[in-house]
């Protein structure tokens, strides 16, 4: 409910609807569990399914996080174990190699929502 018809990835939806897609990913966990039991893979690649490493471990498979997003995105968006605030997004993270790259005020506001 709430996703556009035919939406399959985050590229198909507005940023504000991302949580709906993530909720649907979570509903696939039982199906993925069955697939892992049947396929018995050595390695499982994942992106948004935060629960997949634990599931892979239960099936004696290694898990590898794969993302097509730039590493700098994660450096900016996650500060410790919590999402970055609007104020934090306006400044590079501590230890970030470039002090030039930073989000503008309207970008930081949108990203912090």
Write the pLDDT tens digit of every residue in 77-98.
Answer: 766 667 777 888 788 877 777 7
Average pLDDT over residues 65-75: 76
pLDDT computed for residue 60 by the predictor: 97
Percent of the chain with pLDDT over 90: 30
How many helices (H) and strands (E) in the chain? 6, 4
pLDDT computed for residue 59 by the predictor: 98
pLDDT computed for residue 27 by the predictor: 92
């Amino acid at each position: 409910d709430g996703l556009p018809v035919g939406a399959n990835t985050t590229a198909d939806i507005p940023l504000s609807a991302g949580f709906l897609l993530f909720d649907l990913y979570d509903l696939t966990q039982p199906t993925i569990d069955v697939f892992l039991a049947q396929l018995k893979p050595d390695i499982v690649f994942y992106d948004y399914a935060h629960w997949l490493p634990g599931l892979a471990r239960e099936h004696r498979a290694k898990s590898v996080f794969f993302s097509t997003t730039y590493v700098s995105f994660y450096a900016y968006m996650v500060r410790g174990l919590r999402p970055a605030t609007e104020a934090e997004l306006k400044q590079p993270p501590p230890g970030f190699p470039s002090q030039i790259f930073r989000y503008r005020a309207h970008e930081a506001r949108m990203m912090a929502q």
